[in-house]
Amino acid sequence: MTDSQTLFSDDHAAAADAADPLRGFRERFHLPRIDGVEQAYFVGNSLGLQPRQARAHVEDVLDKWAMEAVEGHFRGNSQWMTYHALLGAQLAEVVGAEPTEVVAMNSLTANLHLMMVSFYRPTAARPAVLIEAGAFPSDRYAIESQIRFHGFDPATDLIEVAPGDDGLFGIERVAEAIATHGHRLALVLWPGVQYRTGEAFDLSEIVRLAHGAGAVVGFDLAHAAGNLPLRLHDSDADFAVWCHYKYLNSGPGAVAGAFVHARHATTDRPRFAGWWGHDAATRFQMGPRFEPTPGADGWQLSNPPILGLAPLRASLDLFTEAGMPALRAKSERLTGYLEALIGAGLSDVLDIVTPADPARRGAQLSLRVRGGRERGRALFEHLAGVGVLGDWREPDVIRISPVPLYNTHADLLRFARAVAQWSGAR
Ligand SMILES: *Cc1c(COP(=O)(O)O)cnc(C)c1O
């Protein structure tokens, strides 16, 4: 154990940062400044920072449009006709899938709807969807509306698993719910990382349990993609959806992602179709009959927003260069340091909600401020005032997500000192 005084020293943080093999990646991002002060930015779980290279990729598209107009679809390496395919292999690597299992398209919620059209097929005997209580509202709205769309009733057919008193589920609660409701479940839709608490789940184990009960399994990976090393293909999940503006640094409202397992590549399940999902080889024969492209590409609706995809290229290049194993190793070090700082000097102010076991969390720690909402808001405002940016979740939680691509031990020390200064504890 490193003693408290050492943990809170500049030398300790500086030495850890100097020894970091990924230290060079920070300068590949724009770090936000407010009133000239560089932020200690811990909100990469909400909006990831802009890769410096993103602008060049966007400008390439603008230039191509200006110079070549419609011919831009067909000319050069980054022609628009095959632009989304430039991303496939790198994106697949980030989520542990085969390139034909992933596609960048639409937004997260739109993709969740499209996936549910194919993979939520309720019957009178099996109408139900299992989700976590306190799910992200958009997911809940989407699921409820799908249940109603099929003529079923969310009051009985949306089953919400309650967490324990500590707000966490553990695999035990998932297993218990599946054992109880399994015979009625059409679909289990579970988060890779729960957005409020930062609790991470063993995807393979959830798939094993749900498939064992005869249900289809989908994952919302909004807080897991680009955060944890995922093995989506091996997990055997039926589908997954995620966004690219959080840990994947592709800008506000960025084009999202979807995964469809290879075993569904040529499924005859129903789907909502569009021309971009049609077999690419014959798409421009413009025939009346829809023949889907095998794999995840077959769920595309429209020709993709190339300007929206451009920043994702810049981001994925960084993920490829750094590699998920190295990113995860650094992420564990950073989050472990944050945890140690809190344990050593801030535990009279903050309780850690997120599991202590690194295998059950990603980058984020959710911190409950002792003393209730007013006190919590006051601390949050203080931190923001000194350029330390986390995010606030009602009623009393501050989420801090050190991101291994651009955060440092020095950032975390800044956070800890700001909390200590506010509380007068040090
Ligand atoms: C961020 C997030 C969303 C956002 O949905 P959009 O369709 O991208 O606006 C949805 N679900 C979860 C769990 C999220 O964390």
Residues 14 and 153 in one domain: no
**Do 213 and 64 share a structural domain?**
yes
Q: Atom 14 in ligand 1: which residue has the minimum CA distance? A: 222
Determine if ligand 1 sits within 6 Å of the CB of residue 195: yes
Same domain, 359 and 381: yes
List the CATH number of the domain containing 259.
3.40.640.10
Identify whether residues 221 and 352 lie together within a single domain: no
Contact by Cβ (8 Å): 87, 309? yes
pLDDT by residue, tens only, the chain of 426 residues: 688 999 999 999 999 999 999 999 999 999 999 888 899 999 999 999 999 999 999 999 999 999 999 999 999 889 999 998 889 999 999 999 999 999 999 999 999 999 999 999 999 999 999 999 999 999 999 999 999 999 999 999 999 999 999 999 999 999 999 999 999 999 999 999 999 999 999 999 999 999 999 999 999 999 999 999 999 999 999 999 999 999 999 999 999 999 999 999 999 999 999 999 999 889 888 889 999 999 999 999 999 999 999 999 999 999 999 999 999 999 999 999 999 999 999 999 999 999 999 999 999 999 999 999 999 999 999 999 999 999 999 999 999 999 999 999 999 999 999 999 999 843
Q: Are residues 290 and 356 in the same domain?
A: no
Give CA–CA dist 388/383, Å, rounded. Answer: 5
Q: How many domains does the chain have?
A: 2
User: Which ligand 1 atom is the nearest neighbour of the CA of 112?
Assistant: 7
* Residue 222 sits in the same domain as residue 93: yes
- Regarding whether 116 and 201 lie in a shared domain, the answer is yes
Which of 266, 297, 320 is where one domain is finished? 320
Contacting residues for 282 by C-beta, under 8 A, at least 6 apart: 291
CA distance 351 to 279: 53
Contact of 124 with 154, CB cutoff 8 Å: no
Are both 151 and 87 inside the same structural domain? yes
Overall pTM > 0.85? yes
What is the residue range of 393's domain? 4-30+323-423
- The answer to whether residue 168 is domain-embedded is yes
- What residues contact residue 329 under an 8 Å CB cut-off, 6+ apart? none
| 227 ligand 1 Cβ < 6 A | no
In whole angstroms, give the CA distance from residue 289 to residue 266.
Answer: 16
- State whether 376 and 393 are in the same domain: yes
Q: Is the same domain home to 332 and 295?
A: no
Does 258 lie in the same domain as 338?
A: no
Quote helix, strand, coil % in the chain, to nearest 5.
Answer: 45, 15, 40
Element (H, E) at 315: helix 306-322
Q: Using the Cα atoms of residue 286, residue 291, residue 296 and residue 300 in order, give the sign of their dihedral.
A: positive
Coil vs helix vs strand at 47? coil
Q: Measuring CA to CA, which residue among 342, 381, 334, 322 is closest to residue 358?
A: 334
- Cβ-proximal residues to 339 (8 Å cutoff; 6+ apart), any chain: 352, 356, 365
For ligand 1, whether the C-beta of 222 sits within 6 Å is yes
Q: Is residue 88, in this structure, part of any structural domain at all?
A: yes
Tell me how far the alpha carbon of residue 371 lies from the centroid of ligand 1, in angstroms: 30
Q: Is 237 helix (H, G, I), strand (E, B) or coil?
A: coil
Give Cβ neighbours of residue 100 (< 8 Å, ≥ 6 apart).
88, 262, 265, 294, 295, 296, 297
Q: Which of 105, 106, 114, 195 best tests ligand 1's pocket when mutated (most atoms within 8 Å of CB)?
A: 195
Cis peptide before 395 (omega within 30 of 0): yes
Neighbours of 162 (CB within 10 A): 11
